[in-house]
Amino acid sequence: MTDASLPPIVAYGPLYPYLTQELERRFTVHPVAADADLSALPPSVLEARALVSFGSVGASAAIMDALPNLEIIGLFSVGYDKVDVEHARAKGIRVSNTPDVLTDDVADLAVGLLYATVRNIAANDRMVRSGTWARGEKPALCGRVTGSRIGILGLGRIGRAIAMRLEPVAGEILYHNRREAADTPYRYVADPLDFARQSDVIIVATSGGPEAAKLVDAAMIDALGPDGVIVNISRGGVIDEEAMIAALADKRIAGAGLDVFAHEPHVPEALFAMDHVVLQPHQGSATIHTRKAMADLVVANLDAHFAGQELPTPVV
Ligand code: 8YV
């Protein structure tokens, strides 16, 4: 039962059910598929004053222009690389995201992926389940996390949380950013190739978007070297995926733990046969606790907007 007195909003793409439930208590919610024909939106949708989206869908200039009454975009994600932020700013459309509430879980998964990759946990699990260990096959010896040089690419909130988790075991923690960060005990390396050369592990924790596209390129991958491991919990597009796959195939790097991919949910099948690669379906923030907290934060931002108040977590 929709209540026409409730502000009309668009749910852009399939939203987390609890979020939909909370939105429907407050708003008249119009689901719009992420690939909808924007020239054929029903009149009721054109009245939408808010749009709720998430990391992989975002909000293009086209969807903003298709909704003449749009006032705010609420993101169920910390990443807003798929939102045309400058277009929103130019049109006076507010944008909110969900930082901080997901930091710990994304950092936890990064550390879990690091251990799983370096210690061959997934491949050894398959060896036990397949019976080959019982038939006498011996697991290969592996690298170690303790004492290794951990390179954090992108020392933001999530990068710092990862570094703090690994401080007790790392041989050293170094990082590469566009500029040196203040108030951090970790060693800054300005040159990306020097950063890779001096790392045993590169954990990609930078924001996505065009400015970070293929930041981890063939040169950085080769500078990391044959004993090196890459972990990515950021965005798939931050790595030159073809170059990484080629390096993994040639054993020019030792392994990769990947939670994100260039064209999700499609993952290059070449990775499926690689025992030195651990794959996750973009699960960084996907805990019951955190997805609820993210949904509550999306709603809090919309509630604040419609109450004429400051947004709790504004992007624009
Ligand atoms: C989102 C993400 O939670 O927060 C981000 O930027 O990439 C994910 O953790 C996901 O996009 C929600 O569907």
Is the CB–ligand 1 distance for residue 78 below 6 Å?
yes
The architecture CATH gives domain 8-101+288-306: 3-Layer(aba) Sandwich (3.40)
Residue numbers annotated as active site? 235, 264, 282
Q: What is the 8-class DSSP label of residue 59?
A: B
Sequence-distant (6+) residues with CB within 8 A of 199 are 149, 150, 151, 174, 224, 228
**Which residues are 75's β-sheet partners?**
53
Say if CB 67 and CB 10 are below 8 A apart: yes
Closest atom of ligand 1 to 208 CA is 6
Q: Is the CB of 208 under 6 A from ligand 1?
A: no
Q: H/E element holding 30?
A: strand 28-32
100: left (phi over 0), alpha (psi -120 to 50) or beta: left
The whole-number pLDDT of residue 3 equals 65
- CATH 3.40.50.720 placement within the chain: 8-101+288-306, 103-279
| Cα gap 215→229, rounded to integer Å | 16
Which tokens is 141 given?
Answer: 């010896």
Considering the entire predicted model, what is its pTM? 0.96
Backbone angles phi, psi at 219, to 5 degrees: -65, -45
Whether 284 is in the pocket of ligand 1, judged by its Cβ within 6 Å, is yes
- Mutation choice for ligand 1 from 12, 16, 54, CB with most ligand atoms inside 8 A: 54
Query: Residue ranges of the alpha helices (H) in 167-204?
Result: 192-197
Could you give the CA distance from residue 56 to residue 31 in angstroms, rounded to a whole number? 16
Side-chain half-sphere exposure of 308, counting CA atoms within 13 A: 0
Of 108, 59, 56, 106, which is closest to residue 83 (Cα–Cα)? 59
Superfamily of domain 103-279: NAD(P)-binding Rossmann-like Domain (3.40.50.720)
Closest residue by Cα to residue 251 from 270, 284, 274: 274
CA–CA dist 132, 42 (Å, integer): 58
Q: Single out the residue of 150, 176, 36, 166 nearest to residue 108, CA to CA.
A: 166
300: number of CA atoms within 13 Å, CB side?
14
- Which atom of ligand 1 is the closest one to the Cα of 76? 12
Chain centroid to CA 238: how far? 10
| Ligand 1 atom nearest to CA at 79 | 6
Token pair belonging to 316: 């624009």
Nearest-atom number in ligand 1 for the CA of 56 is 11
Write the residue with the smallest CA distance to atom 5 of ligand 1: 77
Closest CA to 75 of 62, 65, 88: 88
CA dihedral 58, 109, 142, 218 (to 10 degrees): 20
- Determine if ligand 1 sits within 6 Å of the CB of residue 74: no
Reduced to 3 states (helix: H, G, I; strand: E, B; else coil), residue 267 is coil
In order along its 316 residues, the chain shows pLDDT tens digits of 456 689 999 999 999 999 999 999 999 999 999 999 999 999 999 999 999 999 999 999 999 999 999 999 999 999 999 999 999 999 999 999 999 999 999 999 999 999 999 999 999 999 999 999 999 999 999 999 999 999 999 999 999 999 999 999 999 999 999 999 999 999 999 999 999 999 999 999 999 999 999 999 999 999 999 999 999 999 999 999 999 999 999 999 999 999 999 999 999 999 999 999 999 999 999 999 999 999 999 999 999 999 999 999 999 9
| 294 CA → ligand 1 middle, Å | 9
